Homo-oligomer: A and B are copies of this chain.
Amino acid sequence: MPISARNQIKGQITDIQLDNIMAHVTVKIGENEIESVITRRSADEMQLKAGDRVTVVVKSTEVMLSKD
């Protein structure tokens, strides 16, 4: 199912912290770690857990750039 969000990168969950409404998920992508905050309900329904292979999805308008 192609989606208009242009950034889709495969990785593996290394950590997941669950609260009542939100969940904080860490995903290893190559040498980098990406952090994602999603709803607890999505984490439960997708049965996310450490070790899962997932795709990180980010819209291009949400990607800022900085320069040293």
Contact = CB atoms under 8 A, between A and B. Distances in A.
Interface residues of A, number: 51
B48 A60 contact: no
10 contacts: A1-B1, A4-B65, A5-B64, A6-B35, A6-B41, A21-B23, A27-B65, A29-B32, A48-B67, A59-B62
A35 B63 contact: yes
Interface of A: 1-9, 17, 19-25, 27, 29-32, 34-39, 41-43, 45-46, 48, 52-68
Contact of A65 (B21, B36, B62): B36
B65 A6 contact: no
A40 to B, nearest CB: 8
